A and B are shown apart, each in its own frame.
Chain A
């Protein structure tokens, strides 16, 4: 009897019961992404005050919507990788490589749909290779994927001798309008990207795969004991990253109908920053897809926003850093790490 009393008291002090009420439960389950959304709102507010002329009219938002789809395709799978307890620095080269295959297939006159499938398959195959290298050869993912990024990019440069590929044949084609057109004034890519985010969020939050990714990132020993194929799950996250990189490569190539040997290069740090700005912690086991997507929005906005606000490009890096640090401090205060 006294035992019950004791446990009830300590329990109440620990606040371990999830709160009642749908709204509070939602807020509690999505603390990180709600926090990220707050950061975004504050940032837009500051931009609006600093430059009402630019931020109260549409073009600035449209320009963000052009770069955002590519970022979303990279950030979302990266959340899986960080949650499983790894990191991937090779996705920019994977992105460039898959887009290269896409460009080569289109250039060779194949059906664009086949070129898309070829690019996605290439991305997944490269992800499988990188994942196997990290997991089976038991290398540090930080270093191994950094090496892969240099190696793949170097390979592209050697073969192409730094030359780009123009895909102007796609400009007025169906593929062009499906992958690079506009719907109701919005770039069509944003709809594809949002669909990708939605499927990934379902996979992460409501599917066996996401549950196992979190379990492996949380405690691989325990997950292994319970019969989860720890290595298979880890490799699968890299394959998924490859798929996202392939998609991102196709999107970025289709924006200007040109593939550059440097395709993907600029996305490395912004994509990684977006994951952490979004509220996914560095230690694995937990993560948020929605937060990562909002993080991508924030990071994309800093780049367009700072310049649009009338500051010179020199300020971009400073504000990038400022937002990242502020967001991390916010998440630190907002979430607790359990051991």
Chain B
């Protein structure tokens, strides 16, 4: 059985009387790609922010590798190896790939003078590791010249450099073309093959179905479904399930065995 990287146990977040997330059980194991789905307002963002330590849960417990984390924070999340890659604001687009990868953790001598040779070699190694290589750009290329998919590659290379075990990707393919999406998938698969985990958030169910092995569907602050790819069967069935969530009236029934809803 693979190591349980992070686990949220009956975690809730409320603002006054309004529950953004209410009683969620959720986990990510080492080396798996989990797809997180849900309509706007379903609680996905709150869940991501709790994983990143940006907000604290009102109740419930967070476990990292089986150890309870009573004082969860952004710094602890980072120490636990969780890194969130946001779609738009992740990178400094006027800087080079090298500068983005080593941002805040530059390779320098004791005087703080940068070591360009070492940074370049390390960047090339990281980029190779996720299959992010090309004849048309080098680690010294400006990020602004890269395509959307390639930018996700930079963000992933940086996450790996920062020793992330779980990389949370917030809608990484939403604004991308087919070829660009395929690039991101390639990077994500390489990341998983390196023994790391990815939490992949998306609106396009086909994208998420393609890349993830397990799915978590949220609805109105609760987990409406946790299922493996085999259990779901096809993207169409996942879409049908989500449509039923969105339009609950007129549903005759759906298989309760496949719906691991929290009580």
Contact = CB atoms under 8 A, between A and B. Distances in A.
Contacts of A337: 94
Given A207-B113, A211-B114, A215-B103, A11 B92 contact: no
A206 B94 contact: no
A11 B105 contact: no
Interface stretch (A14-22, A53-61, A91-99, A137-145): A14-22
Given A222-B91, A223-B103, 6 more contacts: A8-B136, A16-B141, A215-B104, A219-B89, A338-B143, A338-B144
A88 interface: no
A16 B122 CA distance: 20
Interface in A13-63: 14-18
Interface of A: 3, 6-8, 10-12, 14-18, 202, 206-209, 211-212, 214-215, 218-219, 221-223, 225-228, 285-286, 337-339
Given A222-B91, A227-B105, A338 B145 contact: yes
Interface of B: 78, 84, 86, 89-95, 99, 102-106, 108, 111-114, 116, 134-138, 140-147, 158, 179, 182-183
Nearest to B93: A338
A17 B138 contact: yes
Given A6-B179, A214-B99, A16 B112 contact: no
B137 A17 contact: yes
Nearest to B116: A206
B247 to A, nearest CB: 37
A281 B95 CA distance: 14
Nearest to B91: A222
Nearest to B114: A206
B108 A208 contact: yes
A18 B183 CA distance: 22
Contacts of B95: 214-215, 218, 285
Contact of B103 (A15, A226, A285, A338): A226
24 contacts: A7-B134, A7-B136, A7-B179, A14-B145, A16-B137, A17-B136, A17-B137, A17-B138, A17-B141, A18-B140, A208-B108, A208-B113, A211-B99, A211-B114, A212-B104, A214-B95, A215-B104, A218-B92, A218-B93, A219-B89, A226-B158, A227-B105, A338-B93, A338-B94
A286 B94 CA distance: 7
Nearest to B115: A206
A226 B145 contact: no
A110 to B, nearest CB: 32
Contacts of A15: 145
A214 B141 contact: no
A222 B147 CA distance: 18
Given A14-B145, A227-B105, A285 B94 contact: yes
A209 B134 contact: no
Nearest to A16: B145
Nearest to B103: A226
A225 B112 CA distance: 21
Contacts of B84: 225
A219 to B, nearest CB: 5
Contacts of B136: 7-8, 11-12, 14, 16-17
A61 B143 CA distance: 42
B134 A215 contact: no
Contacts of A285: 92, 94-95
B89 A8 contact: no
B137 A11 contact: yes
A8 B134 contact: yes
Contacts of B183: 3, 7
A19 to B, nearest CB: 10
A6 B182 CA distance: 12
